[in-house]
Structure 1
Amino acid sequence: MENQKQQVKQLCTDFRLSAIAADLDEIVSTAETEGIGYLELLSRLLKTEQLHRQQRDESRRMKSASLPRNSDLSLYEAKRNGLTDRRLAALRELNWIDQLFNLVLMGPSGTGKTMLAAGLAKDAVKAGYHVYFRTMEEIVSTLKTRDFVRSQTAEYKKMLRANLIVIDDVMLFPLEKNVAVSFFNFINQIYESTSIIVTTNKKPTEWAKMLEDEVIATALLDRILFRCEVINLTGESYRMENRKTFLDK
């Protein structure tokens, strides 16, 4: 019996079925106690491997997404920022990703734009989507250097493979004309195959000033807003309300 188990474990290792190899003794022992049939035993073994691979893949996708620390929507106070629980629940169903809709989260600093975007991105990772979360500055840096820096070439390819791209703090700083063109070309390349979440404290009417080109701004907004839900978040800044100090202690 033990020799057979060792042979099975070796075969599992050869076929890269690491979870079955690791849990074989326990599963076989339980099967013997319960007196289950061969098909049920086989089913349990394969489900063990399936669960292990799903968890491993999710862990890899989560690492690749590079989500910020605060990405747990169970802690998100939707009503505080003018978002109803019903609307938040609809967003968390993630149907809009399959339909290639975009989200534009607008509002003053501290109203939860990044946390909402990160939380939806985390939900998407757990649902099996490939997600890419970066700031506008990081996206621009990748676009500038992808042709001659190997690591940035890999980053760019990762961006193109994503089902959902989150671009945080869009238009926080003005862009030079050549950078604005590169950013437009990137959005133009992905908008028909990838859902995009944009967070910004600038109204669309202000984008032309930040891009220093009304034509590019109009074309960029045309692609982002074509299939899009615009959500205006309101309220006082969470950071200012919860500001910490050490001098008063």
Structure 2
Amino acid sequence: MANAAALPLLLRQLRLPTMAGCCLEVTERALKQGWSIPQTLAALCEYELAERERRRLERHLKEARLPVGKTLESFEFDAIAGADRHQLSALACEVGWIEQARNLLLFGPSGVGKSHLAAAIGQALIEQGQRVRYYAASTLVQELQVAKQALRLADALSKLDKYGLLVIDDIGYVKRTESETSVLFELIAHRYEAGSLLITSNQPFSAWDSVFPDDMMAVAAIDRLIHHAFVVELTGESYRKRAHTRQRKEQKSTLES
């Protein structure tokens, strides 16, 4: 006959540490409330799964390297034209477009919240079970350049395949050099119909000749990006300018009171 006192040890050997940690508490509650064996097992499994999900979320949020504190709830939708709350909330909560390797392209001048939206959508998708990685465009390009110089570009691109969504922020700030734009193009071509990209840019496609020095490369990159993409164009006053205006009003109100 099995020794009930050995249950925590057996659960740890089965690599069920959360069940092991709470089994005594749960079994005592089960005895007091008259739970059946299946009910008790179900309760233990729920604890284990909840803890695994918590650890997964913590691990994937850490690896994503998203800017912190950016949520859709804190985004000022009313101040920005082109920011469709319903559409962006749907993209944040539904993973179908990630599974279909579609892209999301956010355009707009500096300060309208492109990076905020990118980070918020990325975090929401992680909560839906997706793996996400955020990069400033210049940082990503530099890393890919180093890999290419070491003849490891193919490996570097393949390592990014584990992320369902790759966020490339501020692509317009990539320097207009052949070495940088070539690795950026190779990344776009590699992800085409294989993995989703979320790209923010302060320059419309018509000005991407400042990103890609070769017109044919620019056209080819744009063609791949928009083939399966949601395109959002944001306009409005800079967040920093709005914050400054609010601050001045509050200071004025304080002085007058």
1:200 aligns with 2:208: no
1:156-175 superposed matches below 5 A? 157-175=158-176
List 4+ stretches of structure 1 deviating above 6 A: 152-155
Distance (whole Å) between structure 2 residues aligned to residue 173 and residue 162 of structure 1? 22
Change over 3 Å in CA distance of 1:147–1:180 after alignment to 2: closer
Distance (whole Å) between structure 2 residues aligned to residue 175 and residue 34 of structure 1? 70
The residue number in structure 1 matching 2:184 is 183
**CA contact 2:157–2:187 (8 Å) conserved in 1:** no
Larger mean Cα displacement after TM superposition, 111-120 or 92-101: 92-101
Larger mean Cα displacement after TM superposition, 79-88 or 165-174: 79-88
User: Could you report, residue by residue, the CA deviation over 1:83-103 in whole angstroms, capped at 9, with x for unpaired residues?
Assistant: 233223332333322232211
Measured after TM superposition, the shift of residue 147 of structure 1 is 5.6
**CA contact 1:78–1:88 (8 Å) conserved in 2:** no
Change over 3 Å in CA distance of 1:104–1:153 after alignment to 2: same
Change over 3 Å in CA distance of 1:88–1:183 after alignment to 2: closer
CA RMSD of aligned residues (A): 2.3
User: Could you report, residue by residue, the CA deviation over 1:196-217 in whole angstroms, capped at 9, with x for unpaired residues?
Assistant: 1100001101112322111111
The residue number in structure 2 matching 1:23 is 22
The residue number in structure 2 matching 1:59 is 58
Distance (whole Å) between structure 1 residues aligned to residue 155 and residue 39 of structure 2? 43
Change over 3 Å in CA distance of 1:157–1:15 after alignment to 2: farther
The residue number in structure 2 matching 1:141 is 142
Question: Secondary structure of the equivalent of 1:196?
Answer: strand
Measured after TM superposition, the shift of residue 29 of structure 1 is 1.2
Measured after TM superposition, the shift of residue 33 of structure 1 is 1.1
Change over 3 Å in CA distance of 1:153–1:34 after alignment to 2: farther
1:75 aligns with 2:74: yes
Question: Secondary structure of the equivalent of 1:46?
Answer: helix
The residue number in structure 2 matching 1:87 is 87
Q: Give 2:24's aligned amino acid.
A: D
Distance (whole Å) between structure 2 residues aligned to residue 174 and residue 113 of structure 1? 20
Question: Secondary structure of the equivalent of 1:175?
Answer: coil
Q: Give 1:22's aligned amino acid.
A: G
Structure 1 stretches of 5 or more lacking a match? none
Distance (whole Å) between structure 2 residues aligned to residue 30 and residue 154 of structure 1? 52
1:108 aligns with 2:109: yes
User: Could you report, residue by residue, the CA deviation over 1:112-146 in whole angstroms, capped at 9, with x for unpaired residues?
Assistant: 10000110000100000010111101110220123
Change over 3 Å in CA distance of 1:129–1:229 after alignment to 2: same
The residue number in structure 2 matching 1:216 is 217
Distance (whole Å) between structure 2 residues aligned to residue 34 and residue 155 of structure 1? 55
Change over 3 Å in CA distance of 1:8–1:157 after alignment to 2: farther
**CA contact 2:93–2:125 (8 Å) conserved in 1:** no
Distance (whole Å) between structure 2 residues aligned to residue 8 and residue 38 of structure 1? 14
Distance (whole Å) between structure 2 residues aligned to residue 97 and residue 161 of structure 1? 12
Q: Give 2:76's aligned amino acid.
A: E
Question: Secondary structure of the equivalent of 1:166?
Answer: strand
**CA contact 1:174–1:212 (8 Å) conserved in 2:** no
The residue number in structure 2 matching 1:35 is 34
Change over 3 Å in CA distance of 1:18–1:147 after alignment to 2: farther
